[in-house]
C-alpha cells in the first residue's frame, strides 16, 4: 500500500458522528495531515447525538478542531462544501486516502453514480478516478435493495465499505470502547498504527 500522509475525512448526516470525530483525533495524533469536510446535516447530527454545536463556517470549525485536538500548525484544514479550489477537488493534488464517516445513503448513492454536486462528492469522485483509497462508513438499518446495489457497485470499484458494526469479543465497557472498535478498523484500512484495542489473539483466545 502507498504510504498515507494526507487523509480527507468527510462528515455527513448519517448517525454516527462520534466515529468521525474520533477518527480525526486519531489521525492527528498519528501525525497525519487531515483535510476535513462536513455537510449541514452533519451539524444537525452533532447537536442531536453529542450535544455539540459545530461552527457553521469552515474557518470556525477548523479552529474548533485545532483547539479540541491540539493539531500542529498546517496539519489540519477544513473546507466548505462549495470550495471548488480546495486541493481535494482536483486529481492534481488529491489526498492519499479519503474516509466518509459517517456516510449517509444519499452521499453513498451520489458517489456510486459519479455525482459531484458538492466538495464531498467531488473529492470522492477524485479518489475513484485516481484509484486512491476510499473508505465509506455507511450507517443505516435495514438496508434497501437500492442501498445494497450502490454498495456492491462501489465495492467492485475497489471502495472499502465498512459499516460501523462494533464487535463484542473485546468486552467493551463504554460507548467510547465501541466507537474505538470501529475507528480501529478504519485506521487498519489506512495502515495507520494505533493502540485502540488489542489484536486478535494477543490478550484473549477464541472461545473464552
Residue 1: predicted pLDDT: 61
Residue 80 assigned ligand-binding role: no
Residue 2 has pLDDT above 80, yes or no: no
Q: Which domains does the chain show, CATH number per domain? A: 6-189 (3.40.50.1950)
Residue 201: predicted pLDDT: 80
Rounded to whole angstroms, the Cα distance separating 176 from 144 reads: 29
pLDDT tens per residue, range 53-97: 999 999 999 999 999 999 999 999 999 999 999 999 999 998 999
Does the N-terminal peptide bond of residue 142 adopt cis geometry, omega within 30 degrees of 0? Answer: yes
pLDDT tens per residue, range 159-175: 999 999 999 988 999 99
pLDDT tens per residue, range 112-161: 999 999 999 999 999 999 999 999 999 999 999 999 999 999 999 999 99
Residue 106 assigned ligand-binding role: yes
Residue 22 assigned ligand-binding role: no
Residue 207 assigned ligand-binding role: no
Residue 203 assigned ligand-binding role: no
Rounded to whole angstroms, the Cα distance separating 99 from 192 reads: 13
Q: In this structure, what C-alpha cell is assigned to residue 202?
A: 494477543
Residue 15 assigned ligand-binding role: yes
Residue 46 assigned ligand-binding role: no
Amino acid at each position: 500500500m502507498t504510504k498515507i500522509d494526507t487523509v480527507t475525512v468527510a462528515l455527513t448526516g448519517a448517525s454516527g458522528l462520534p466515529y468521525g470525530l474520533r477518527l480525526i483525533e486519531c489521525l492527528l495524533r498519528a501525525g497525519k495531515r487531515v483535510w476535513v469536510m462536513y455537510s449541514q446535516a452533519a451539524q444537525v447530527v452533532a447537536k442531536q447525538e453529542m450535544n455539540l454545536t459545530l461552527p457553521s463556517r469552515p474557518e470556525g470549525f477548523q479552529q474548533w478542531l485545532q483547539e479540541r485536538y491540539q493539531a500542529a500548525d498546517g496539519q489540519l484544514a477544513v473546507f466548505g462544501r462549495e470550495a471548488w479550489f480546495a486541493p481535494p477537488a482536483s486529481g492534481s493534488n488529491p489526498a492519499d486516502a479519503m474516509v466518509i464517516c459517517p456516510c449517509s445513503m444519499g452521499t453513498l448513492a451520489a458517489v456510486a453514480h459519479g455525482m459531484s454536486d458538492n466538495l464531498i462528492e467531488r473529492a470522492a469522485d477524485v479518489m475513484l478516478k485516481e484509484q486512491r483509497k476510499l473508505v465509506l462508513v455507511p450507517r443505516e438499518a435495514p438496508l434497501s435493495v437500492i442501498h445494497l446495489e450502490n454498495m456492491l457497485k462501489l465495492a467492485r470499484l475497489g471502495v472499502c465499505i465498512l459499516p460501523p458494526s462494533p464487535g463484542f469479543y473485546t468486552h467493551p465497557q463504554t460507548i467510547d470502547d465501541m466507537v474505538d472498535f470501529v475507528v480501529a478498523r478504519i485506521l487498519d484500512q489506512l495502515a495507520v498504527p494505533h493502540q485502540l484495542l488489542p489484536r486478535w489473539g494477543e490478550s484473549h483466545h477464541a472461545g473464552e
